[in-house]
Structure 1
Amino acid sequence: MANLKEIRNRIVSVSSTMQITSAMKMVSAAKLKRAQDAITLMRPYADKLQDILTNLSASLDTSENEYAQERAIKNVLIIPVTSNRGLCGGFNNYVVKKALHIANVKYAAYNTTVFPIGKKAADTFKKTAHYGNSEAIVKEGSEIWGDLNFANANDMASKIMEAYVNGSFDKVVFVYNKFKNVATQIVTEVQFLPILPPVQTENSVKNTASADYIFEPSKAEIITELIPKSLKTQFYTILLESHAGEHGARMTAMHKATDNATELNKELKLKYNQARQAAITNEILEIVGGAEALNG
């Protein structure tokens, strides 16, 4: 009977876990719908603005565009974007591993500083030498998920852009999860600063050769207004991608956890019924054996 009690306690425990994971799945599904709608609406605008940014930067002299100046690389800023909470599978681990890899391999010859956005990345890089001088702004980087909007992203992007212009960093790189669908997030490394020139293809070369740019209202206003706005929009889009990916990963993880708990619950109930049946059979055998002994 002690074995039956133990199995019964496990059934209760697994059932409670199944209810929790099922509830978390539904919560993540509701949040995912809003996050997915936000990134779906933002992508066309951000992509078009990014095309304008790269083409505009290519048409300007590097001395005119302070965000496109390629300097000798000495200091690299790596920005891994993770969530503040776990229970989302390998969503955070993949980004952290990628950031560590590029810091230790790709940019090993340079002074690398990591500015983590999200507590999961911050907790990891606090223990490494790559944490650098970004400790003062880590709290702000983690708290942005509490109220994700363009205004908050704008303030953070402005500080990163200012650090690049001032020469604190010669290259700024993002590592984040790009949202593809509910079950798939792609770990992406993208150079934020300096602005990369457009990829040269046969069609793009022909278009560039035949293009005649007219700056309206003026080249100076475009440089001071459009380029920073494009960079801030790109920064905000990266945060939206990661935000949608987090909820997709958590919903998928909780769905799998619920399925596993359901399967385990079935196995435990089967084991409980088998053990209970065996106990009843033993009792019957004992009664029959005792009756035969009395008759004998």
Structure 2
Amino acid sequence: MANLKEIRNRITSIGSTMQITSAMKMVSAAKLKKAQDAITAMRPYSSKLTELLQSLSATLEGNTGGAYSEQRKVSKVLLVAITSNRGLCGGFNSSIIKKTVSTVQEKYGNVEVDLFTIGKKGNDILSKEYNVFENRNDVFDDLTFDNVAEIAEQLMDLYVAGSYDKIEIIYNRFKNAATQIAMVEQFLPIEPVESDDNIQLDYIFEPSKEEIVLDLIPKSLKTQLYKAVRDSFAAEHGARMTAMHKATDNAKELRDDLLLTYNKARQAAITNEILEIVGGAEALNN
């Protein structure tokens, strides 16, 4: 058994750790509220924009979507893996890394695959095994639509130039503070949607449908990527808040166990001292 000084030092150390994890939990909780409000407000807009684009595209004939809807034989794929720049967030980053690896091995086993990483943690691990085309850690320093749109334009240019035949996004979708869902979404080419002949909508379009679709596609793609990054950002703070809450509870439990051990050891030491004193007094009397 460790001596009293060692146990006392461990109790002090665990107390300091509890203060850190508790503070990190409160910081993440404050940031989560803002991030959750942002993604909650954005989802209806993003979903409606995608729905409108798909509805219009389904009623058009031919390859009206232009270069972004061109279906090519898949020989080279780019996966956009969105992780975080910081750790201490439970299985948030590992779930994306595992999802990326499984996607490469199971879905694109015979296809050349490159990675485009957003976030330092994913790049540090994935770059050891796979070819990372580019890494963007700076996005989370100033998370705005314009900064994410810049990345989306870069991805769109790579697809139009023929550098890649398919681009997919892998990210954590925010459900609640304790639950994040690893998602794989197709970014390019735009997936064709079959029209529903049972639904007849009579709209007047100005300008024409074709012009509206061609104008909406770039905006929709930028919004899709921005939503994925926003989702991941909210999920990161939710995961970190949950992880720090569990860490604080575990530290408290460990501290309580050590306090019990310390009190027992101290009581045993006091009892031994009393027995030694009583034994010495008896020896003198005899």
Could you say which TM-score interval applies, normalised by the shorter chain? Answer: over 0.9
Show CA shifts across 1:217-263 (max 9, x none).
23453233211101111110001000000000000000000000011
1:96 touches 1:121 (CA, 8 Å); kept in 2? yes
| Mapped contact 2:39–2:234 kept (Cα < 8 A) | yes
Q: Secondary structure at the match of 1:71?
A: coil
Deviation at 1:104, TM superposition (A): 1.7
Note the 1:141-180 alignment, pairs <5 A. Answer: 141-180=136-175
For 2:87, the equivalent position in structure 1 comes to 86
| Cα displacement string for residues 191-222 of structure 1 (whole angstroms, at most 9, x for unaligned residues) | 1111113367xxx4411xx3456432234532
Give the fraction of aligned pairs with identical amino acids, expressed as a percent. 58
Correspondence 1:218 to 2:208: yes
One-letter identity of the residue aligned with 1:282 = N
Distance (Å, rounded) in 1 between the aligned partners of 2:53 and 2:86: 34
Q: Which residue of 2 aligns with 1:6?
A: 6
**Secondary structure in 1 matching 2:234:** helix
Q: Which moved more, 1:243-252 or 1:106-115?
A: 106-115
Query: What is residue 250 of structure 2 aligned with on the other side?
Result: 260
Give 1:58 deviation, angstroms.
Answer: 2.0
Give secondary structure in 1 for the equivalent of 2:137. Answer: helix
CA distance in 1, matches of 2:56, 2:74: 24
1:234 match = 224
The whole-number CA distance in structure 1 between the counterparts of 2:62 and 2:14 is 62
Give, in whole Å, the separation in 1 of the partners of 2:131 and 2:140: 20
TM norm structure 1: 0.92
Aligned partner of 2:267 in structure 1 is: 277
Name the CA distance, whole Å, in 1 between partners of 2:185 and 2:278: 78
**3-state secondary structure, aligned to 1:116:** strand
Greater helix proportion: 1
Work out which of the residue numbers 162, 171, 177 in structure 2 matches 1:182: 177
CA distance in 1, matches of 2:69, 2:230: 24
Preserved CA contact (<8 Å) 2:58 2:194: no
* 1:50 aligned partner: 50
Kindly provide the amino acid, as one letter, of the partner of residue 14 in structure 2: V
User: Which residue pairs with 1:72 in the alignment?
Assistant: 73
Aligned AA for 1:206?
N
Q: Could you say what secondary structure the match of 2:249 adopts?
A: helix
Runs of 5+ in structure 1 lacking a partner? Answer: none
> Which residue in the other structure is 1:109 paired with?
110
Q: TM-score, normalised by structure 2?
A: 0.95
Deviations 1:18-47 (A, max 9, x none): 000000000000100110000011011111
Contact 1:55 1:197 in 2 (8 A): no
**Structure 1: which amino acid aligns with 2:216?**
L
Q: Does 1:37 align with 2:27?
A: no
Shift of 1:62: 4.6
Count of aligned pairs between the two proteins: 285
Q: Which runs of 4+ in 1 moved over 4 A?
A: none
Code of the aligned partner of 2:22: S
SS, match of residue 117 in structure 2: coil
| Residue ranges of structure 2 left out of the alignment (5+ in a row) | none
**SS of the residue aligned with 1:291?**
helix
Structure-1 separation of matches of 2:272 and 2:58: 86
Structure 1 residue 278, shift from structure 2 partner:
0.4
Q: CA deviation at 1:116?
A: 0.9
